[in-house]
Structure 1
Amino acid sequence: MANDGLEKISEIPLEFIKEGNTFINRCTKPDAAEFLKIVRAVGVGFIVMGAIGYLVKLIHIPIRHLITV
């Protein structure tokens, strides 16, 4: 009975490695068009998050000065 538990524990890393190898083999390198699309999406995300942060800071500064005065 103790052997069954030990076998199950030893199968987990082997199964993980096998599934990991299958995943890596299915992955493909993006072509130039797909890479450009990803770069654009990330760039737009940076710009949007930066704009939101700037607007929050822009609103927060006057409110903070009104509270502390």
Structure 2
Amino acid sequence: MAGKGKLTDAPVEFVKEGVQFVRKCRKPTQKEYAQLIRAVGMGFVMMGIVGYLIKLIHIPIRYLIV
């Protein structure tokens, strides 16, 4: 079989790349962590506003249709 090695190469390659990734990872500094929290918080607020606006538009339309 010509493709026999390809089946076993994929998991080995995956583990190698995973180990390389973990070795390159580092703990974020306090400044980076604060920036990440701020960005995630802003995302939550923005999605909440969008959801609220959609709900405000949806309520009158629902009563007009019914």
Does TM-score exceed 0.5, indicating one fold? yes
Q: Count residues in correspondence.
A: 66
Unaligned runs of 5+ in 2: none
Length-normalised TM-score, structure 2: 0.91
Structure 1 position 8, deviation (Å): 2.1
After TM superposition, the runs of 4+ consecutive aligned structure 1 residues lying more than 4 A away are none
Length-normalised TM-score, structure 1: 0.87
Corresponding residue to 1:51 among 30, 44, 49: 49
Pairing 1:17–2:15 present: yes
Identify the residue that residue 39 of structure 1 maps to in structure 2: 37
AA at the equivalent of 2:33: F
Instruction: Give the 3-state SS of the residue equivalent to 2:28 in structure 1.
Output: coil
What is the CA–CA distance in structure 2 between the aligned matches of 1:63 and 1:34, rounded to whole Å?
Answer: 44
Q: For the pair shown, which has the larger CA radius of gyration, 1 or 2? A: 1
AA at the equivalent of 1:19: E
